[in-house]
Chain A
Amino acid sequence: MESKFDIIETDSVVVRFSGDSGDGMQLTGMQFTDTTAFLGKDLSTFPEFPAEIRAPAGTLAGVSGFQVNFGSKEIFTPGDQYDVLVAMNAAALENDLKNLKKGGIIITNTAGFDAKNLRLAEYPEGVNPLEDGSLDDYELYKIDVTRLTKDALKDMGLGNKEIERSKNMFVLGVLYWMFDQSPDYTINFINEKFTKNQIIADANIKALKAGVNYGETTEIFNTRFKISASNLPAGNYRSITGNHATAIALIAASEKSGLPLFLGSYPITPASDILHELSKYKEFNVRTFQAEDEISAVCSSIGASYGGSLAVTSTSGPGMSLKTEALGLALMLELPLVVINIQRGGPSTGLPTKTEQSDLLQAMYGRHGESPLPVVASESPADCFYTVYEACRIAAEHMTPVIVLNDGYIANGSEPWKYPTEDELTPINVHFTTTTNNEGGVFLSYKRDEKLVRPWVKPGVKGLEHRIGGLERENETGDISYEAENHEIMVKLRAAKIEKIADYIPLQIVDTGKENAKVCVLGWGSTYGAIKSVVLDLVKEGYDVAHIHLKYLNPFPKNLGELLNGFETILIPEMNNGQLIKVIRDKFLLPAIGLNKIKGLPFTTIEIREKILELLNK
């Protein structure tokens, strides 16, 4: 039996599941991913779906894809091109063929290539790519998934619609066979998901097993993959998406700081999952408030912070714009507040389901008046945990709003995570003032400590009654002041307070490569994986290149300028039209070079590699 097909042993494979929005590709991809992770492989995922909930079935606009790169080596990106493309219909093939590797495998559901589907996928009249030889350069498998699923489930008394819904499980079964992975994880998942509907659970399991058996018994496949478990560091792992990591980071920060958690949020793609996830954790005394709008979401959080909560608001670009006035208020009140922006393609409604890094300048400068705020950014799905946790620490310990810049790519993407235990988390030290802080039993609401931080007093403390607000405060007393000198002092104090945070964050390190290399690739946010894997490869190949990745965008780590000055050339890849580069040039007067991609898609490694090589060869 074994000799009938080639067994390809490889250290990584990219699979793309592609189908109609209604075909369940996201679920199929997640199941494949979780199983893969569970079996000890490293991986990175990239779910990609249309902005419409259900675009017309069969159309190009309705294609929903899920890409996973997994293997025994360290994986940093979902992969530039895929080895295997699963195309459930003609539109999926038409949409996604372009990034299939030459000679790659295509698994199709032939039922999705009937005349109607071909027309909807905009193939010319009479053209069927499965039949016209145009796919001869690939390894094409034509499987009538729909019919095979129907046959497998025909005696179960299910309607056509329910049977149709199980066809993704058949395909998943075929893939499990192809990659020599056990379907057990998914069988457990199905049993848990459909505890109240045994027939549906049975049907899905039957379809899944039918898929596995199809791979095993039919002799159509030429290829089977063998990938050994990865050499990830030893430890306990789980799979996590960025938004999920964000939610549990907030719970962790609440527990470690002793502050009750309050999330004010208004539904917005791609940030809503943070609200969904947190609202499950009521037993942690978590208060989630679905506000009437973005402004109320941030304002209710300010109210909760004033009352002594760890207050958070989560959103995306358009919501961020609406929150800006309130951010100015929170900055003036000098209250802790964590603002999580899951960036998406902008401006305006832009590309709601596509990724972009174009809100950095807004985070840095997008408020009226002199209004600096700390800004941090996550580099990967699992890193969202640490970055959001750190944002909570800075907010609570430094009494300031903190902006977290994540993006749709890492918010929805997932990876294995060697999760920490609670003892391993940095403590968050919060101090509420309950006594007067000046001679003669006077309380001064804007008297600062060594961090330039003012006292946090919860309403209800006897003897410290005072009023705060958005009108300029008098230094120390916190009374309203329109005095000229005072305003200048306060503007400088607020700026110095944010700068002072640099004393309480780690120094910048070189992620890969060495200091003083010829080319330094300076990144921030979700470009981490792509830059990291390229620079790792190039360093291995002997090139003089280094990678520095910024988590702290304001204030920068204190040594950043000195570090950057040691490189001959600095390349800044960003998924925007050049934003960090402006800040770096402004701050350090360095002639950095930009590499910009504004396509709603993450960088491929090739794109970054080519640019680095061009600079190295100059």
Chain B
Amino acid sequence: MSDISEEIVPQKLTSKDFVPAQDVKWCPGCGDYSILKQVHTIFPELGVKKEDFVFICGIGCSSRFTFYVDSYGLHGIHGRAPAIASGLKASRPELSVWVVTGDGDALSIGGNHFIHMLRKNFDINLLLFNNQIYGLTKGQYSPTSEIGKITKSTPYGSVEQPFNPAELALGAKATFVSRTLDRDPKHMQAILRKSYFHKGASFVEIYQKCPVFNEGAFFMFTDKETKKTESLFVEHGKPLVFGVNDDKGIKLDGFKPVVVDLNENGNSVNDLWIHDEKDRIKANILAGFSDPTPELGHLPRPFGVLYAVDKPTYEDAMAEQIKKITEKKGKPSLNNVLSGDKTWVIG
């Protein structure tokens, strides 16, 4: 009897359960450490058995994540983690599947798999560590590096315009699009939790510091002096407010976002844009708040859940189809398949 009661009482996991014996080998000061810490922190709370977590990664600094969570994991090939994860999730829907990727892995070599995994809406959590640089290959510009970026492969500056990952994810029909930062642990934990509980493909862009090749790329969003004016933390149902004393807000003038000073001209918080994460049109405008956007003027960078809607997942739709057809056709016999329906006898 004692065996049975042991089975029933859920095992209480702690973050230590997810820390493997293996040493973590990222550079000192890398933003990845914070992300790993937050994952270790929230995992015990999710109600998932330790053995049911699977990390599928590609290649790059971020993709080493596979080895740093003590559960199941597959360290794959460059850019292909979403494809590997799709096959796993389609065939094993009960597993909690996580893809960790970087700006080069997801948006350059793996761009096709990235958009299609989101479009097909597998219930997979994809964490994109965006550091706007190639780290593991020692410092070339990435598809999120800004125009003019000086790197080893662009000594005279990059001539390419960068992707805005949130816009790309929305364009790919992602059902959950969010952004957070390595230097804001509490916010990241909240977003990771939401991404887990979202049923469908969850896209989490994490601004991540590369202290070796791209130091300070995102400091303006976390440094005391600039954080309040440069970052906009959005929450569903709440007005878009930012600024040193929460004294600035964003209003919509048609489709155009306008920054207003709440201390001036009788501007009221009641007139501001209320964030509605289910509104696809507004989510697209919000995702567009990225520099440089000359036609909009300078806007703060939004963090939080930009968009979240429920749609059927690929794996559920696939299982449903199998179930329906099996119910309709009944229990099949392999012998019928082998013979087909047109046979003849010789002899």
Answer whether residue A284 sits at the interface, using C-beta atoms and an 8 A cutoff: yes
B237 — which chain A residues lie within 8 A by C-beta? none
Of B26-34, B68-76, B145-153, which stretch is located at the interface?
B68-76
Interface size on A, residues (CB 8 A): 75
Task: Report the Cα distance A39→B338, complex, angstroms.
Answer: 20
Answer whether residue B9 sits at the interface, using C-beta atoms and an 8 A cutoff: no
Among B66, B88, B112, the residue within 8 A (CB) of A467 is: B66
Determine whether the beta carbon of A333 is less than 8 Å from that of B334. Answer: no
Q: What 3 pairs between A and B have smallest CB-CB spacing?
A: A234-B347, A469-B75, A303-B87
Given contacts A237-B343, A287-B91, A467-B66, contact A303 B56 (CB under 8 A): yes
Determine whether the beta carbon of A307 is less than 8 Å from that of B346. Answer: no
Task: Report the Cα distance A229→B347, complex, angstroms.
Answer: 10
Task: Report the Cα distance A463→B329, complex, angstroms.
Answer: 39
Answer whether residue A440 sits at the interface, using C-beta atoms and an 8 A cutoff: no
Separation in Å of the B85 CB from the closest CB of chain A? 6
Given contacts A296-B80, A420-B338, contact A467 B344 (CB under 8 A): no
Task: Report the Cα distance A470→B55, complex, angstroms.
Answer: 14
Determine whether the beta carbon of A238 is less than 8 Å from that of B343. Answer: yes
Determine whether the beta carbon of B84 is less than 8 Å from that of A422. Answer: no
Determine whether the beta carbon of B94 is less than 8 Å from that of A421. Answer: no
Task: Report the Cα distance A418→B72, complex, angstroms.
Answer: 45
Q: For B69, give the chain A residue with the smallest CB separation.
A: A467
Determine whether the beta carbon of A40 is less than 8 Å from that of B346. Answer: yes
B344 — which chain A residues lie within 8 A by C-beta? 37-40, 236-238
Of B188-196, B247-255, B317-325, which stretch is located at the interface?
B317-325
Within 8 A of B (CB), among A270-319: 281-287, 289, 291-293, 295-296, 299-309, 311
Answer whether residue B212 sits at the interface, using C-beta atoms and an 8 A cutoff: no
Determine whether the beta carbon of A283 is less than 8 Å from that of B76. Answer: no
Given contacts A235-B346, A248-B337, contact A460 B87 (CB under 8 A): no
Separation in Å of the A606 CB from the closest CB of chain B? 30
B73 — which chain A residues lie within 8 A by C-beta? 466-469
Task: Identify 20 new A-B residue pairs, CB closer than 8 A, beyond the known A300-B90, A328-B77, A480-B67.
Answer: A236-B339, A240-B340, A251-B334, A255-B334, A292-B83, A292-B116, A295-B112, A295-B113, A302-B87, A305-B87, A306-B87, A307-B91, A419-B343, A422-B334, A459-B54, A462-B50, A465-B71, A467-B75, A469-B66, A469-B73
B90 — which chain A residues lie within 8 A by C-beta? 262, 287, 289, 300, 303-304
Determine whether the beta carbon of B87 is less than 8 Å from that of A233. Answer: no
Answer whether residue B51 sits at the interface, using C-beta atoms and an 8 A cutoff: yes
Task: Report the Cα distance A463→B52, complex, angstroms.
Answer: 11
Interface size on B, residues (CB 8 A): 55
B85 — which chain A residues lie within 8 A by C-beta? 303
Among A237, A306, A325, A462, the residue within 8 A (CB) of B84 is: A306
Q: For A333, give the chain B residue with the smallest CB separation.
A: B74
A287 — which chain B residues lie within 8 A by C-beta? 90-91, 318, 322
Q: For A240, give the chain B residue with the smallest CB separation.
A: B340
Separation in Å of the B79 CB from the closest CB of chain A? 8
Count chain B CB atoms within 10 A of each CB in A289, A325, A463 and give the residue with the most. A289
Task: Report the Cα distance A17→B58, complex, angstroms.
Answer: 51
A-B CB contacts (within 8 Å), total count: 204
Task: Report the Cα distance A255→B92, complex, angstroms.
Answer: 18
Task: Report the Cα distance A235→B346, complex, angstroms.
Answer: 5
Task: Report the Cα distance A462→B116, complex, angstroms.
Answer: 32
A471 — which chain B residues lie within 8 A by C-beta? 75
Separation in Å of the A541 CB from the closest CB of chain B? 28
Q: For B329, give the chain A residue with the smallest CB separation.
A: A283
Q: For B79, give the chain A residue with the smallest CB separation.
A: A295
B50 — which chain A residues lie within 8 A by C-beta? 462, 465
B342 — which chain A residues lie within 8 A by C-beta? 34, 38, 238-239
Determine whether the beta carbon of B343 is less than 8 Å from that of A422. Answer: no
Separation in Å of the B123 CB from the closest CB of chain A? 14
Determine whether the beta carbon of A251 is less than 8 Å from that of B91. Answer: no
Q: For A261, give the chain B residue with the smallest CB separation.
A: B91
Count chain A CB atoms within 10 A of each CB in B87, B95, B321 and give the residue with the most. B87
A333 — which chain B residues lie within 8 A by C-beta? 74
A326 — which chain B residues lie within 8 A by C-beta? 77, 80
Answer whether residue B345 sits at the interface, using C-beta atoms and an 8 A cutoff: yes
Separation in Å of the A370 CB from the closest CB of chain B? 17
Separation in Å of the A242 CB from the closest CB of chain B? 15
A234 — which chain B residues lie within 8 A by C-beta? 345-347
A284 — which chain B residues lie within 8 A by C-beta? 332, 337
Separation in Å of the A192 CB from the closest CB of chain B? 10
Q: For B72, give the chain A residue with the smallest CB separation.
A: A459
Determine whether the beta carbon of A296 is less than 8 Å from that of B83. Answer: yes
Determine whether the beta carbon of B321 is less than 8 Å from that of A282. Answer: yes
Task: Report the Cα distance A285→B55, complex, angstroms.
Answer: 25
Answer whether residue B22 sits at the interface, using C-beta atoms and an 8 A cutoff: yes
Answer whether residue B326 sits at the interface, using C-beta atoms and an 8 A cutoff: yes
Determine whether the beta carbon of B87 is less than 8 Å from that of A465. Answer: no
Show 10 A/B contacts (Cβ-Cβ < 8 Å), sorted by A. Answer: A252-B334, A283-B326, A299-B84, A303-B91, A306-B84, A311-B87, A328-B77, A421-B338, A460-B49, A469-B74
Answer whether residue B175 sits at the interface, using C-beta atoms and an 8 A cutoff: no
Determine whether the beta carbon of B91 is less than 8 Å from that of A262. Answer: yes
Determine whether the beta carbon of A251 is less than 8 Å from that of B337. Answer: yes
B334 — which chain A residues lie within 8 A by C-beta? 251-252, 255-256, 422
Separation in Å of the B327 CB from the closest CB of chain A? 9
A325 — which chain B residues lie within 8 A by C-beta? 77
| Binary B-proximity of A316-333 (CB < 8 A = 1, otherwise 0) | 000000000110110001
Chain B positions within 8 Å of A, measured between CB atoms, are 20, 22, 49-52, 54-56, 66-67, 70-77, 80, 83-92, 94-95, 112-113, 116, 318, 321-322, 325-326, 329-330, 332, 334-335, 337-340, 342-347
Task: Report the Cα distance A333→B90, complex, angstroms.
Answer: 20
Determine whether the beta carbon of B340 is less than 8 Å from that of A238. Answer: yes
Task: Report the Cα distance A311→B83, complex, angstroms.
Answer: 14
Determine whether the beta carbon of A308 is less than 8 Å from that of B335. Answer: no
Among A296, A301, A459, A469, the residue within 8 A (CB) of B92 is: A459
Determine whether the beta carbon of A248 is less than 8 Å from that of B338. Answer: yes
B325 — which chain A residues lie within 8 A by C-beta? 282-283
Answer whether residue A232 sits at the interface, using C-beta atoms and an 8 A cutoff: yes
Given contacts A40-B346, A307-B92, A326-B77, contact A289 B66 (CB under 8 A): no
Task: Report the Cα distance A464→B52, complex, angstroms.
Answer: 11
A460 — which chain B residues lie within 8 A by C-beta? 49, 51-52, 72, 92, 94-95
B116 — which chain A residues lie within 8 A by C-beta? 291-292, 296
Determine whether the beta carbon of B346 is less than 8 Å from that of A252. Answer: no
Separation in Å of the A321 CB from the closest CB of chain B? 15
Answer whether residue A461 sits at the interface, using C-beta atoms and an 8 A cutoff: yes
B89 — which chain A residues lie within 8 A by C-beta? 303
Task: Report the Cα distance A462→B321, complex, angstroms.
Answer: 30
A40 — which chain B residues lie within 8 A by C-beta? 344, 346
Answer whether residue A264 sits at the interface, using C-beta atoms and an 8 A cutoff: yes
B346 — which chain A residues lie within 8 A by C-beta? 40, 229-230, 232-235, 237, 418
Separation in Å of the A432 CB from the closest CB of chain B? 13
Answer whether residue A479 sits at the interface, using C-beta atoms and an 8 A cutoff: yes
Task: Report the Cα distance A308→B84, complex, angstroms.
Answer: 13
Separation in Å of the A146 CB from the closest CB of chain B? 31
Among A282, A283, A299, the residue within 8 A (CB) of B87 is: A299
Task: Report the Cα distance A468→B71, complex, angstroms.
Answer: 11
Task: Report the Cα distance A235→B344, complex, angstroms.
Answer: 8
Determine whether the beta carbon of B77 is less than 8 Å from that of A306. Answer: no
Determine whether the beta carbon of A329 is less than 8 Å from that of B77. Answer: yes
A39 — which chain B residues lie within 8 A by C-beta? 344
Determine whether the beta carbon of B75 is less than 8 Å from that of A307. Answer: no
Answer whether residue A260 sits at the interface, using C-beta atoms and an 8 A cutoff: yes
B347 — which chain A residues lie within 8 A by C-beta? 232-235
A38 — which chain B residues lie within 8 A by C-beta? 342, 344
Task: Report the Cα distance A329→B77, complex, angstroms.
Answer: 7
Separation in Å of the A420 CB from the closest CB of chain B? 6
Separation in Å of the A433 CB from the closest CB of chain B? 13
A462 — which chain B residues lie within 8 A by C-beta? 49-51
